[in-house]
Amino acid sequence: MNKLESKTELINGFNVLTITIPPNNSVIIEPSNMIHMNGKLIVEPIVQSKNNNFFSKAYNGIKRTLTGNSFFNNQISNHTNENLQLSVGPLLIGGIIKLEIQADEIWRFTPSSFLACTPNLLVSGNVNMFKNIKGVLGGQSLLYTEISSNDGNSGSVWISSYGGVERHEIQMGENTEKLYINDGCFLGMLSSKNKINYWDKFVKVGSANGFLKGLLTQTALLLKIEDKKPISENNDKKCIVYTQTLNIRNLNNQIAVIAQESVSSGGIHIGLFGGDIKEKYRKYEEKYNNLLSQE
């Protein structure tokens, strides 16, 4: 089976991912991110799961929904003898990366970052709130999209970010390195490999330079990637982490401020007709009362 080919290009300043699907091949995509596709391609709803039964599929679909994806993914198939293309785009303005997921790896990503993957990968959700609570304390998410192999072979996944993307390889073991990630800037990481849980072993929450100073510098609680107990058996391990350059919490906070200002002023400042609706209504009411007084 031929491999999927892809290219990411800027169109009027926005990233667009175009995937070429060879004959007798398919790709799994998040439905809401598709821009357009060749009309000869076939679209089918699909619910993936490790165990191919109703309850397993339903549970996996619910987990995906909780982590920002659709209950159903779309499987786009090419049943022709031609190479056919489709295009997808990020939810927010940002970058697009392609990763190779090995058979013994599990990766986690922030909600709504999944774009597409080869059909042999499983798109699920990590809803273990007890283990993920440190993500929330560190200014990140409580729930995550999880990607792993579904057939024992490697596959490709395309992930989108808010802003640009940076890759970090943090050395563990006796010479451990440290990476501190600010609110909302965590994009994803290699969560598990060879049955070693990197999220449990090497991720914690803490301050950059003491809690009290952190309160003044807004670094009291950060997501920290480091070896908690540096030992020689971890010398060959590296944490692979991706960060995004824009803080999605800042965007959420700004939207909340704009919404609050609109509510407190009694109208929408920039709406369908422009201006403040409440003020326009007051002026129309004043004109109407003047007309009545003249009669």
Q: Note the pTM of the prediction, 2 decimals.
A: 0.82
Distance CA 140, CA 120 (A): 29
- Per-residue pLDDT tens digits for 38-60: 999 999 999 888 887 888 888 88
| DSSP bridge partners of 35 | none
Q: Which of 188, 181, 7, 164 is nearest to 93 (CA)?
A: 164
Which sign does the torsion angle of CA 9, 242, 153, 113 carry?
negative
pLDDT value at position 284? 64
Q: Which residues of 124-152 are buried (b: 16+ CB within 10 A; e: fewer)?
A: bbbbeeeebebbeebbbbbbbbbbbbbee
The backbone region for 151, taken as left when phi is positive above 0, alpha when psi lies in -120 to 50, beta otherwise, is alpha
Distance CA 95, CA 68 (A): 18
pLDDT value at position 271? 46
pLDDT value at position 270? 46
The third-level CATH classification (topology) of the domain covering 5-257 is Double-stranded beta-helix (3.60.160)
pLDDT value at position 259? 81
Spell out, as residue ranges, where the chain has pLDDT lower than 70. Answer: 1-2, 264-285, 287-289, 291-295
Six-digit token string for 54 = 């109703």
Q: Which residues contact 27 (CB under 8 A, 6 or more apart)?
A: 4, 19, 21, 75, 76, 86, 116, 117, 118, 119
